[in-house]
Amino acid sequence: VVPGVTLRLVQPNISQTDKWSGDKRIENFNKQLAMSAAPGIDRISAVIWSETAVPFTLSWEPEAQKALGAILPPGALALVGATRATPYGTEPLQAWNSIYAVDRAGTVLATYDKAHLVPFGEYVPLRELLAPLGIEKITAGSVDFSPGPGPRTIDLPGLPPVSPQICYEAIFPGAVLDPSAPRPGWMLNVTNDGWYGQTSGPHQHFAIARTRAVEEGLPLVRAANTGISGVVDGYGRVTGEIALGQAGILDAALPAALPETPYARWGDAGFWLLLALGLLFGWIGRPARRTLRPPAAGLP
């Protein structure tokens, strides 16, 4: 494990119906603050909330940023999912699905913006053609999210460098790390699987995210609204978990990164090489073709 680093994952288990309800947003925010400040907070290095766990645009709410900072012990951070937007009233308005890193003073130290957006959930493709037909997003809000620049490695005080992913960004092999940056010490995946309820979807999503940990040899920390939240080491072993459909917190050590794996170094090149070798050996080992000759004259 990484010495001196303990993470607190917060899974509030807020239903999708209540998550964006106007009269419950402050209640939902305060619920997660209270869960985060539970006994033991004094030894926590970072409190982690799920995707869009803050049910309003955090960049417009400095008081909410201060409220997040107020629950933290000295030196700790809050890593929370929330929308981010250009200053209120600016035109054109842009918004992002983001992760914020907030310190004890309520200062935003860094943000990460989701790059792989969900069509019709986070934006309407070909909006100029489809909007006149009445086709809009199936989620709350009329503004399309803007995509972020892609994988990043973020340096944060008191923590190893981290590569964040939001929701299904964790399902893309070879696309979870910034190839131009030094290798991070861990990956952070925040998600809201509340859309899927008690189905196989959250289990499949968690299993696919675990695969990224094995491929990269890096621990994966996953915070989900309704589950499954957990910590996975570089071998794919789950070292701590909050089950689907349960509210709770998980205090967990951060597993240490493994040495760089062959996949992390060469990506899909190994697959294509094995495929080419298989085809080559299959061709070399094919049975020799026999030529049938006509029977000799006079033989029946």
Q: What is the pLDDT of residues 248-264, one digit of tens each?
A: 999 999 999 999 999 88
pLDDT at 299: 54
Task: Compute and round to an integer the Cα radius of gyration of the chain.
Answer: 24
Helix (H) or strand (E) holding 277: helix 269-284
Q: What percent of the chain has pLDDT over 70?
A: 92
pLDDT at 282: 84
pLDDT at 218: 97
297/205: higher pLDDT? 205
Span of 33-47, 68-82, 182-196 with lowest mean pLDDT = 182-196
Ramachandran sector of residue 39 (left: φ over 0; alpha: ψ -120 to 50; beta: rest): beta
Parallel, antiparallel, or unpaired: how do β-strands 46-48 and 77-85 relate? parallel
**Which residue's structure tokens are 């209120």?**
88
> Is it the case that residue 142 has pLDDT exceeding 80?
no
Residue of 223, 234, 136 lying closest to 185 (CA atoms): 234
Residues serving a catalytic function are 51, 114, 167
> Is it the case that residue 280 has pLDDT exceeding 60?
yes
Residue of 99, 94, 131 lying closest to 113 (CA atoms): 99
Under 8 Å between Cβ of 149 and 181: no
pLDDT at 7: 98
Q: Residue 17 phi/psi, 5° resolution?
A: -65, -40
Q: For residue 189, give Cα distances in angstroms to 67, 129, 222.
A: 23, 34, 5
Domains of the chain (ranges, CATH numbers):
6-266 (3.60.110.10)
Q: How far apart are CA 221 and CA 252, in angstroms?
A: 10
> Is it the case that residue 288 has pLDDT exceeding 90?
no
Confidence of residue 295 (pLDDT cuts 50, 70, 90): low
Pull the structure tokens for residue 179: 């190839």
